[in-house]
């Protein structure tokens, strides 16, 4: 990978952050991550992102399946996806270094319209697409992501060139071999798009009672079809997805340290603090009380 970019990211995170990651201020929607030691599995929601590892490696788990993610590979996430992840290769002398870019679906659609109907992207798909895909990064994609960070070192260049490079990155993602689910999202009537909308509704109202049949109807799907395609995309059922969201949000609230365990339980939608504590301990292997004030890592 680009040694100069790795060094720049390493120095940037150390200079401007007290943590192991930082949102890069000079360009939009980019996060730089640096770890100097391996980490334990942490639960998280990966929103639509592209992630490039420049140095080190990590493991990402989804629905019980763990995938290796190493330097030189790119991750594409199309939907808000529940994962567990941990850094598996990092040291003080050779930190784990990665760049994470938020994906702009509107920009993808804009690019697709510019390409026109004569450019059929369906021929790029040779396997069933998932909401989380990892593959060796195309050289042009990796180069574009690295250039996007590098221009943060020059505010004038960033102000003029960043939107252009952002568009290039989205074009590379749209035409990447493992960008199949992104391509499906371009069709507003596709199952991928309908599940995308459903997940957005669950996240927006995760603390409220979820009636799956009503959610299916709201996105124009039968209950049976909705269950099938939701599990294909999200890796779990709608109700389990909601429960995982509640517990992840609870962990964030507890880490802040301003709410009690019972207040946190009620804030995320639990009617019973006892049930909340039991399910929390089952997921995170610690009691909610032990997580009060605990710093969360970027994974």
Find out whether 194 and 220 touch, Cβ atoms under 8 Å. Answer: yes
Residue 237: CATH number of its domain: 1.10.10.60
**Domain boundary residue, one of 156, 184, 212:** 184
Task: State the average pLDDT over residues 45-64.
Answer: 96
SS3 285: coil
Q: Are residues 175 and 238 in the same domain?
A: no
Mean pLDDT across the chain: 94
Q: Are residues 146 and 25 in the same domain?
A: yes
Span 244-280, pLDDT tens digits:
999 999 999 999 888 899 999 999 999 999 999 999 9
pLDDT for 296: 79
Q: Are residues 21 and 162 in the same domain?
A: yes
Count, in order, helices (H) and strands (E) of the chain: 11, 10
> Is 127's pLDDT higher than 70?
no
> Is 98's pLDDT higher than 70?
yes
**Domain boundary residue, one of 155, 184, 213:** 184
Q: Are residues 9 and 105 in the same domain?
A: yes
CA distance 80 to 191: 15
| Backbone phi, psi, residue 133, to 5° | -130, 140
Q: Are residues 170 and 253 in the same domain?
A: no
Q: Are residues 146 and 13 in the same domain?
A: yes
| Backbone phi, psi, residue 41, to 5° | -60, 130
pLDDT for 123: 67
Measure CA of the first residue to CA of the last residue in the chain; give whole Å.
Answer: 21
Q: What is the DSSP letter of 186?
A: T
Task: State the average pLDDT over residues 109-129.
Answer: 78
Find out whether 103 and 81 touch, Cβ atoms under 8 Å. Answer: no
Q: Are residues 112 and 246 in the same domain?
A: no
CA dist 241 to 80, 119, 152, 210, 272, Å? 10, 36, 37, 11, 19
* Helices within the chain (DSSP H only): 3-16, 105-115, 139-150, 155-174, 180-185, 191-204, 212-218, 223-234, 238-256, 261-267, 273-284
pTM of model > 0.95: no
Q: Are residues 24 and 96 in the same domain?
A: yes
> Is 126's pLDDT higher than 80?
no
Instruction: pLDDT band for 122, please (50, 70, 90 cuts).
Output: low
Residue 177: CATH number of its domain: 2.60.120.10
Surface-to-core class of residue 207, CB atoms within 10 Å of its CB (0-12 exposed, 13-18 middle, 19+ buried): middle
Instruction: pLDDT band for 128, please (50, 70, 90 cuts).
Output: confident
Q: Are residues 211 and 249 in the same domain?
A: yes
| CA proximity to 195, closest of 215, 173, 175, 209 | 215
Q: Are residues 177 and 268 in the same domain?
A: no
CB atoms within 10 A of CB 108: 22
Span 10-38, pLDDT tens digits:
999 999 998 999 999 999 999 999 999 99
The residue assigned the tokens 């079809």 is: 225
Q: What is the DSSP letter of 206?
A: T
Span 7-17, pLDDT tens digits:
999 999 999 99
pLDDT for 84: 95
**Domain boundary residue, one of 149, 184, 219:** 184
Q: What angle do CA 86, 92, 93 make, to 5 degrees?
A: 120
Domain count, the chain: 2
- Poorest-pLDDT segment among 31-35, 109-113, 234-238, 294-298: 294-298
Instruction: pLDDT band for 44, please (50, 70, 90 cuts).
Output: very high
Span 199-225, pLDDT tens digits:
999 999 999 999 999 999 999 999 999
Could you tell me the residue range of the domain that residue 149 belongs to? 3-184
> Is 64's pLDDT higher than 90?
no
Percentage of residues in the chain having pLDDT higher than 90: 87
Q: Are residues 117 and 256 in the same domain?
A: no
Q: Are residues 85 and 150 in the same domain?
A: yes
CA distance 12 to 16: 6
**What dihedral angle (degrees, nearest 10) is formed by the CA atoms of 147, 151, 157, 162?**
60
């Amino acid at each position: 990978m680009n040694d100069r970019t790795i060094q720049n990211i390493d120095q940037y995170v150390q200079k401007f952050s007290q943590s192991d990651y930082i949102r890069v201020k000079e360009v939009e929607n980019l996060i730089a991550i640096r770890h100097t030691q391996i980490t334990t599995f942490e639960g998280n929601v990966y929103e639509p992102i592209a992630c490039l590892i420049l140095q080190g490696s990590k493991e990402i788990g989804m629905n019980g399946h763990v995938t290796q993610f190493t330097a030189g590979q790119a991750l594409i996430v199309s939907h808000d996806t529940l994962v567990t992840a941990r850094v598996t290769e990092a040291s003080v002398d050779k930190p784990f270094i990665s760049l994470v870019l938020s994906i702009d679906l509107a920009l993808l659609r804009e690019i697709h319209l510019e390409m026109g109907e004569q450019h059929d992207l369906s021929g790029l798909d040779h396997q069933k697409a998932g909401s989380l895909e990892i593959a060796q990064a195309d050289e042009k994609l990796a180069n574009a992501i690295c250039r996007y960070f590098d221009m943060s070192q020059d505010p004038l260049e960033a102000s003029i060139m960043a939107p252009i490079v952002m568009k290039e990155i989205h074009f590379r993602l749209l035409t990447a071999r493992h960008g199949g689910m992104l391509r499906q999202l371009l069709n507003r009537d596709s199952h991928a798009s309908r599940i995308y909308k459903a997940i957005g509704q669950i996240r927006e109202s995760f603390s409220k009672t979820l009636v799956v049949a009503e959610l299916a109807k709201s996105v124009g799907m039968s209950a049976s079809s909705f269950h099938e395609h939701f599990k294909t995309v999200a890796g779990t059922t709608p109700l389990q997805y909601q429960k995982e969201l509640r517990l992840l949000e609870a962990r964030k609230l507890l880490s802040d340290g301003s709410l009690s365990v019972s207040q946190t339980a009620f804030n995320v939608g639990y009617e019973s603090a006892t049930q909340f504590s039991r399910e929390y301990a089952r997921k995170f292997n610690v009691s909610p009380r032990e997580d009060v004030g605990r710093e969360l890592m970027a994974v």
